[in-house]
Amino acid sequence: MYALETTALTYHFGKDCVLENINLQVPQGSIYGFLGPNGAGKTTTLKLTLGLLRKQQGSIAFFGKAFEKNRLEVLRNVGSLIESPSLYAHLSARENLKVLQKIYRCSEKRIDEVLALVGLAYTGLKKAGQFSLGMKQRLSIAMALLHAPRLLILDEPTNGLDPNGIIEMRELLKKLSQQHGTTVVVSSHLLAEIEKLVTDVGIIHKGKMMFQGTFEALKERQHQSSATILGTTDPEATQRFLVECHIDARRENGSVVLPLQSVEQMTEVTRQLVARDIGVYEITTRKNDLETIFMNLVKE
């Protein structure tokens, strides 16, 4: 059972198809990175799942229960931060949470718990309007966590944060997942940052899902697209020999490129080449980073 699942979710703005058959599957207990370029459809998808936009086609379920038929029960178990934080600027952090505490009817001691959790326990009477952007983001997450949700949905939570703020946000989300068992969905266009955080990944581009699976599966694509580069005194003969050994090889910029090989494999290849009077003067590895994998998926 998934914490969040959509089936064939499709949405149009006028005649434009913004989302097409989005099948989102967020495993319980995961930190799910929902990735895509700006304008790919991330925010629209998350708004639809929360009922902030009226659904047109497809289905949405939380923890195995249809959203439409169990709306109140579902929302009691979901916390969210979509787009910019919504705070009362003239109130302190505690006062902002006090307003929501009355709405959620949760224990007042929960206010101190979430303030400590997000690192805002000592802000005192300082007004939210005087907070830095990072503090506002943390307060918004505290508000989303006040009713102890099982699922937390965050749309671009690191937008506008400095490097230190991004690190703090990452550690907070890891803590929520590992120590409190909260399932986290975090959307972003910054793959280099997300790869340090997530367990599962969904990649969306122009309203279509391009990839969905574990982070390990995405890294396997990285391995598959990496290569070993050989510099030899006779690239043509080198390529011919490798092809005879059933190794896919091609010439590129005076070198020979072949799929990523182990140390043992390259030791044997080098020995065989030298035995054929072909000098080997360079062996390098080219590993595509995850941003490259992401861009390749988008181009496809």
pLDDT of residue 222: 63
Using a pLDDT cut of 90, give the percent of the chain over it: 43
pLDDT of residue 23: 95
pLDDT of residue 188: 85
Structure confidence at residue 45 as a pLDDT band (50, 70, 90) = very high
**pLDDT tens per residue, range 164-182:** 878 888 888 998 899 888 9
Q: Are residues 294 and 201 in the same domain?
A: no
Domain range spanning residue 279? 226-299
pLDDT above 90 (res 108): no
Q: Are residues 149 and 112 in the same domain?
A: yes
d(CA 121, CA 141): 14
Average pLDDT, integer, range 24-46: 92
C-alpha distances in angstroms, 258 versus 28, 65, 228, 268, 273? 40, 49, 5, 14, 15
pLDDT of residue 111: 92
Q: Are residues 239 and 96 in the same domain?
A: no
Residue 259, both tokens? 């799929």
DSSP 223-239: HHH-EEEEEES-HHHHH
Average pLDDT, integer, range 127-143: 87
Structure confidence at residue 184 as a pLDDT band (50, 70, 90) = very high
Query: Which CATH number belongs to the domain containing residue 55 in this structure?
Result: 3.40.50.300
pLDDT of residue 290: 67
* 220, part of any domain: no
52-61, 218-227, 243-252: range with lowest mean pLDDT: 218-227
Average pLDDT, integer, range 228-248: 90
pLDDT above 70 (res 192): yes
Question: Which of 184, 214, 244 is the endpoint of a domain?
Answer: 214
